[in-house]
């Protein structure tokens, strides 16, 4: 009498493999979710710096193109960009150098105005 052994996996082997996958998959999903959140934060921070640079450029152009343009002590506004509302504020201070002003620009995403995503400092002449 000859014995024929069939090739394949036993039920125990299949269940063990499924257990390993079931334990590893949630960890992988948590890792991927963390990476996506980090990429979103980097995207928002980059967008905030672009907005801050745009505001500084806007003020520089106004000083260049508008005769007798003056810098206000504070200036605020909002910008719609990439489907979100961004709030920016500019604070102007005198410096020790006569005729030069320091501009501090902060940009916030939406209503979260307690922690700016971008802070930019520039200097301009009167």
* 84/98 Cα distance (integer angstroms): 39
User: In this predicted model, which residue has the larger pLDDT, 111 or 53?
Assistant: 53
Provide the pLDDT for residue 38: 83
3-state secondary structure of 115: coil
Planar angle of CA 65, 68, 69, nearest 5 degrees: 65
* 33/36 Cα distance (integer angstroms): 5
Average pLDDT, the chain: 89
Contacts 24+ apart (CB under 8 A), 85-93: 85/110, 86/47, 86/48, 86/51, 86/110, 87/111, 87/113, 88/51, 88/52, 88/55, 90/55, 90/59
Tens-place pLDDT, residues 16-65: 999 999 999 988 888 888 888 888 899 999 999 999 999 999 999 998 88
Tens-place pLDDT, residues 52-63: 999 999 999 998
Give Cα 71 distance to the centre of its chain. 28
Provide the pLDDT for residue 80: 93
Cα Rg of the chain (Å, integer): 29
Assess if CATH 3.30.1300.30 describes domain 11-125.
yes
């Amino acid at each position: 009498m000859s014995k024929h052994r069939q090739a394949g996996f036993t039920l125990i082997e299949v269940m063990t493999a499924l257990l390993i996958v079931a334990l590893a998959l949630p960890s992988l999903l948590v890792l991927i979710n963390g990476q996506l959140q980090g990429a979103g934060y980097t995207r928002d921070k980059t967008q905030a710096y672009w907005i801050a640079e745009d505001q500084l450029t806007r003020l520089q152009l106004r000083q260049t193109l508008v005769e007798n343009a003056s810098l206000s002590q504070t200036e605020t506004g909002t910008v719609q960009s990439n489907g979100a509302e961004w709030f920016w504020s500019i604070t102007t201070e005198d410096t020790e150098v006569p005729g030069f002003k320091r501009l501090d620009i902060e940009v916030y995403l939406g209503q979260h105005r307690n922690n700016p995503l971008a802070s930019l400092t520039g200097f301009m002449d009167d």
